[in-house]
Chains A and B, each alone.
Chain A
Amino acid sequence: MKLNLSKIFFTLLCSLPLLVSPARSENIIRLALPYVPGELHPLAIEEPVNRIILANIASSLVRTDKDKIILDAATRLESTAAQDEWNITINPQAKFRSKSPADEYFVQDSYNFYSNLARELSADSAKQNNSHSDNPAYQTHLINSIPPYLLEKLLSIKTDIVISRSSQQGALYRVQLTEPSANFSKWVLTLPLINAKQAVAFAQLLGSGTNTPFLGPYSLSENRPEQLIVLRANDYYYRPTYPRTAVIEFRSYASATDALSALRTGAIDIIPFPTAEMIADTQNDTIISQMENPLINLKQSPKISNWKLYRNFWSQPNNEQDQLITETLLKRKTLQSDDNFRLFFDLTGCKSILSY
C-alpha cells in the first residue's frame, strides 16, 4: 500500500508540469503576402487581401456558399412569401469586444452605418477625399474595389425594428424592405456587423490605427503598413472552442523567392496568392500542398466580376512567372484546415500541428 502511494506521488510529480502549464500554448498561423495594406474597408469586397483579413475579423449574420445561405451570427432567418419582410434571430452569445451584445440595435446601427457610407461614396466629392489616408493610392484602390451594385442595394435599404426585447433564443430583428428582394440575405446580411459608434469615434474608418470594431473571432492588434498585420483571438467569440489559433500574422515579403523559402522552412504556413513560378516549383512537394483558393468560392457570391489586386505581380512587373494567381494557394502540409477555411477563408478552425 505504501509502495503504491509513493508510485502515485511520483506519477503526480511527473505530471505536475502538465498540470501547471497553460491548456493551450500560443500558436500562430503566418501568411505571406506580396503587400500588406495599412487600411481596410468593409465594403471593398473585390480586394482579395482586404477580403481575407476581413474574413477573420468581421463576422456577418449569414454567409453564402454558392446559392446556399449559411447562418453565422444569426441563428435563424425567415422571410415572408413576398420577401419584403425578413426575420432574423441573432445568436445571444454574439458580443462585441466591449461585451455589448450584438442585438437588434447594433444590427440596425451597422446597416445605417453602411448606408451612410454608401451615400458618402456615391457622392463624387467623397471619392476624392483622401485627407485621412497615409496611402491615397491604396485608398483609391480600395474604393474602386467596392462593387457599384453593393452601393445601390445599400442605398435602397429601409429598416424598421419591430421587436425590441430579447428572448431566450436571441434578439429577433425584423427588416422591412421598400421593395421585395429574394437576394436581400446575399447582398446585405453578408456585410460585417460593426460597432458603429466606435467606428465613428475614430473619424477615419480603420485608418493606420488598429480600430476594427467588428464582431468577429479576431481583433487587429498590430498594423504596420507594408510590413505586418497581426490578429489576436478574441476570448468572447460566440462559437465555443474557436478560434483554435491564438495569433494570425499577415507578413509582407519583398520577393516571391523569399516567401517560398519561408514556406519551406516553416516560417510561414500559407501563401494565399502564389506566383505562377511558385506553383510550378511546388508540384508534388513533400511539405507543401496546393489547394483550390477559397477566394474562388467567395467570388461566386455576391457576384464579383473580378478580383482587384493592388499589384498583379509579386515584385517584378511584366514577368509572367511573377504574376499573382488567385485560383490556387500554397500551404504547409502541417497546417490543419477545415470546411470554413475552404469555403470562406475563415482561419478559426485552422491550426498548425507544429505549434503544439
Chain B
Amino acid sequence: MKRPRISFHKNQYELMNRLLSILLVLLVGAAAAVILICSFDSLRLGSALVKLQQTYSILSGEIVLPDLKGKEQRTEEFLERATAVNKDNSSAQAKYRLSQAQFLSSRGTVDHIQKSLQLCSALKSIEDAQKFSPANSNYQILAINILTTISHEKFSCPDKTSDLLITQLHQAIAHAEKLAPASPAALLALSQANLELGNKLQALQSLRRLQLLGSTLSEQEQLYIFNLPDNSEELALLLPTTYPAFLPWIQYFSQVRSTDFSRWNDTFARALLQALLDLEQRLDKNKIGEEDYIRFILDIANLDYALENNEARKKLDTIMANIFGRNNNLTWSNILNQRKDMVRIPILKAGMELDKAPEASMLSSWLDDTSKESIAFNKNNSALGFYLPENYLPQLIILEAAERQKNISAESIALYASSDNQAYYPYKQDAQIQSLSLADRHYIVISIKQPTFRYFKILYSNSMGDGSFRQRLTRLVQVYGTQIKQ
C-alpha cells in the first residue's frame, strides 16, 4: 500500500522539479537579457572611451600613420618574408618591402635601442631603394614617415647625427612636394613631417589639400585632423565649407571639443552658411536635383547647431519656408516665415519627471538652452520648464520629438506661468497650441503673445503617456521671439 504512495510523491516531486527547472532557466535567461541590455550601454561607453584614448594619444604627440589595414598583426611574418626575398633579390621593390617591414616592426617595439636600430635599418633600406628609383613617390613617402618618426623619437643613426637627419627630412619634404603633390598618403606624411619640424601652417595647408581631394580617411586620421586646430584661424583653414564634408566636424567639435566649439562658433557658422550657398549653386547649375536638395537641407536642419546658431537657422528657415510654400505645406511655411525674423532666446531649462502639484512645485536643476541631456516629456504629470532671461519677448515655443516617435495631442498640454518660481498659475492669456508633424518628427507649436512672466511650465497630463516624446533638451524645447533693445 505504501509503494504507490511513494511513487505518487516521486512523480509529483519530479514534476515540480521539472517545472522549477524550466522557471529557473527562464529566470536566468531574463537576467542574462537584462545584463546584456545594461552592458550594451557600457559597450558603447567603452567604444567612446577608446576613441577618447585615441584622441589623447594624438594630443600627446604620437605619430599617426596611414591606415595599415591590419598589416601590423602580420609584422613578423611580413619582415621574415621581406628579409628572405631580399637575400635573393636586390631590386628596388624588394628593398622598399624590406624597409616597410622594418618600419612596421619598429612600431610594435618598446625597447628604445631596439626601436632605434629597426628605424635606422628601415631608413637604410629605403635609401637603397631610392638609389634605384629616385622618382618613386611611394619610396619618398615611406622615407618621410621613417625620418619623421626618428626625429619625433629623438633618435640618431650610427652614421648620421640628429642634425643631419633633420636636414634629410627637409630635403625629403621638398622632393615629395614635387613628386606627388596630390597623393593623399603624401599629403598626410607631409603634414606630420611639417608638424614635427614646427611648420604648422604648411602642415595645415597639406591637410586642407587632402580634404579637398575628398579621399576617404581612416578614423584615426580623421581624429588626428580634428585635433590639430588650436585657434579659429587654424580651424578656418581646415574646416570644409561644403555639404556633407563639414557635418562630421560640427558633430565632433560639439561633442568632444565643446568649449572650442562655442569659442569658434562664428567660424562654424560661416562654414555652414557657405555650405548652404554651395548647395543652392549646385541646384541652380543642375548638379543636384530638387529632391536631393530638399533632402540635404533637411539633413542640415537636423543638426542641433543649425538651430542653435541664429544666423544659420534664419537662413535655413528662409530656404525651408520657400520649399514648403512651393509644396503647399502652408502651415510649416507660415511658421518658418515667422521664425526667420525671430531670435532663439537663450532660456534656462528644467525637466520634472513628476509634477503632481504644478501650481506649487518649483523648477530646479537648471540647464543651458543648448544642453544635450535627453529628457522624455510625455510621461503622465511630467513637466518641462524654462526661465526667460530679461530683455526677451517670447512669441513661439516649439517642442520637438526625436524621429519616429509617437505624436501627442494639443489637448494633453497645459501651460503654467510664474513670476517667482514659487507660485504657478494656469496661463490664461492668448496661447495657441498646435500638434504638427514634419518628416517623421512630431512637434507641439505654442504661439504666445507678450507674456509678463519669467518662469514657464509646460505640463503633460495624460495617463497614456509612455515617455516616447524624448529628445535632447536643446531641441526638445526651443523658444523664439524678439530681443528688446535697451
The contact of B366 among A8, A19, A198, by CB within 8 Å, is A198
The contact of A201 among B346, B373, B421, by CB within 8 Å, is B346
B201 at interface, CB cutoff 8 A: no
- Asked if residues A5 and B24 are in contact (CB atoms below 8 Å), the reply is yes
Residues of A within 8 A of B422 (CB): 208, 224
- Asked if residues A210 and B56 are in contact (CB atoms below 8 Å), the reply is no
B259 at interface, CB cutoff 8 A: yes
A217 at interface, CB cutoff 8 A: no
Residues of B within 8 A of A5 (CB): 17, 20-21, 24
Residues of A within 8 A of B348 (CB): 198, 201-202, 211
A182 at interface, CB cutoff 8 A: no
B27 at interface, CB cutoff 8 A: yes
- Asked if residues B259 and A99 are in contact (CB atoms below 8 Å), the reply is no
A247 at interface, CB cutoff 8 A: no
Interface code B47-67, partner A: CB below 8 Å = 1, 0 otherwise?
000000000100110000000
- Chain A 198-240 interface residues, beta-carbon cutoff 8 Å to B: 198, 201-203, 208-211, 213, 219-224, 232
Smallest CB–CB gap between A87 and chain B, Å? 18
- Asked if residues A219 and B364 are in contact (CB atoms below 8 Å), the reply is yes
CB nearest neighbor in B for A8: B24
A165 at interface, CB cutoff 8 A: yes
- Asked if residues A232 and B24 are in contact (CB atoms below 8 Å), the reply is no
A5-B21, A6-B16 as given contacts; A210 in contact with B366, CB under 8 Å: yes
- Asked if residues B24 and A98 are in contact (CB atoms below 8 Å), the reply is no
Of the stretches A100-108, A173-181, A301-309, the one at the interface is A100-108
A98-B368, A221-B365, A232-B365 as given contacts; A6 in contact with B420, CB under 8 Å: no
- Asked if residues A2 and B14 are in contact (CB atoms below 8 Å), the reply is yes
A9-B20, A101-B259, A165-B230 as given contacts; A209 in contact with B387, CB under 8 Å: yes
- Asked if residues B362 and A219 are in contact (CB atoms below 8 Å), the reply is no
A131 at interface, CB cutoff 8 A: no
- Asked if residues B230 and A105 are in contact (CB atoms below 8 Å), the reply is no
Interface code B362-390, partner A: CB below 8 Å = 1, 0 otherwise?
11111110011100000000000001011
Complex Cα spacing A221 to B363, Å: 7
The contact of B420 among A97, A195, A208, A232, by CB within 8 Å, is A208
- Asked if residues B27 and A197 are in contact (CB atoms below 8 Å), the reply is no
- Asked if residues B20 and A219 are in contact (CB atoms below 8 Å), the reply is no
A21 at interface, CB cutoff 8 A: no
A164 at interface, CB cutoff 8 A: yes
Complex Cα spacing A203 to B454, Å: 11
A9-B20, A12-B27, A197-B368 as given contacts; A165 in contact with B59, CB under 8 Å: yes
Which of under 10, 10 to 19, 20 to 34, or 35 or more describes the interface residues of B? 35 or more
B23 at interface, CB cutoff 8 A: yes
Residues of A within 8 A of B90 (CB): none
Complex Cα spacing A105 to B20, Å: 61
Residues of A within 8 A of B31 (CB): 19
CB nearest neighbor in A for B390: A203
Complex Cα spacing A299 to B120, Å: 64
- Asked if residues B363 and A201 are in contact (CB atoms below 8 Å), the reply is no
Complex Cα spacing A220 to B366, Å: 10
- Chain A 86-135 interface residues, beta-carbon cutoff 8 Å to B: 97-101, 103, 105, 134
- Asked if residues B387 and A202 are in contact (CB atoms below 8 Å), the reply is yes
Residues of A within 8 A of B259 (CB): 100-101, 103, 105
B258 at interface, CB cutoff 8 A: yes
A5-B20, A5-B24, A6-B20 as given contacts; A167 in contact with B364, CB under 8 Å: no
The contact of B387 among A6, A19, A211, A219, by CB within 8 Å, is A211
A283 at interface, CB cutoff 8 A: no
Smallest CB–CB gap between A112 and chain B, Å? 15
- Chain B 408-429 interface residues, beta-carbon cutoff 8 Å to A: 420-422
- Asked if residues B16 and A97 are in contact (CB atoms below 8 Å), the reply is no
- Asked if residues A201 and B389 are in contact (CB atoms below 8 Å), the reply is yes
- Chain A 1-20 interface residues, beta-carbon cutoff 8 Å to B: 2-3, 5-6, 8-9, 12, 19
- Asked if residues B364 and A2 are in contact (CB atoms below 8 Å), the reply is no
- Asked if residues B366 and A211 are in contact (CB atoms below 8 Å), the reply is yes
Interface code A262-287, partner B: CB below 8 Å = 1, 0 otherwise?
00000000000000000000000000
Interface code B188-223, partner A: CB below 8 Å = 1, 0 otherwise?
000000000000000000000000000000000000
A241 at interface, CB cutoff 8 A: no
Residues of A within 8 A of B59 (CB): 165-168
Residues of A within 8 A of B366 (CB): 97, 198, 210-211, 213
- Chain A 180-201 interface residues, beta-carbon cutoff 8 Å to B: 195, 197-198, 201
Residues of B within 8 A of A201 (CB): 346, 348, 387, 389
Complex Cα spacing A219 to B420, Å: 18
Residues of A within 8 A of B23 (CB): 9
- Asked if residues A6 and B372 are in contact (CB atoms below 8 Å), the reply is no
Complex Cα spacing A126 to B13, Å: 85
Report which residue of B346, B362, B420 has the largest number of chain A beta carbons within 10 angstroms of its beta carbon: B362
- Asked if residues B371 and A98 are in contact (CB atoms below 8 Å), the reply is yes
Residues of A within 8 A of B372 (CB): 99
- Asked if residues A222 and B362 are in contact (CB atoms below 8 Å), the reply is yes
Smallest CB–CB gap between A175 and chain B, Å? 18
Residues of A within 8 A of B17 (CB): 2-3, 5-6
Q: Give the 3 A-B CB pairs with smallest separation, nearest first.
A: A210-B364, A221-B364, A2-B17
Could you list which residues of chain A lie within 8 angstroms of chain B, going by C-beta atoms?
Answer: 2-3, 5-6, 8-9, 12, 19, 97-101, 103, 105, 134, 164-168, 195, 197-198, 201-203, 208-211, 213, 219-224, 232
A selection of 15 A-B contacts at a CB cut-off of 8 Å is A2-B13, A2-B21, A3-B17, A5-B20, A6-B20, A97-B365, A100-B368, A165-B59, A168-B56, A198-B366, A201-B348, A202-B387, A210-B366, A221-B365, A232-B364
Q: A98-B367, A198-B366 are in contact. List 19 more A-B contacts (CB 8 A).
A: A5-B17, A5-B20, A98-B368, A99-B373, A100-B258, A100-B259, A100-B368, A101-B258, A105-B263, A165-B230, A168-B59, A195-B368, A209-B387, A209-B421, A210-B362, A210-B363, A210-B365, A210-B366, A232-B365
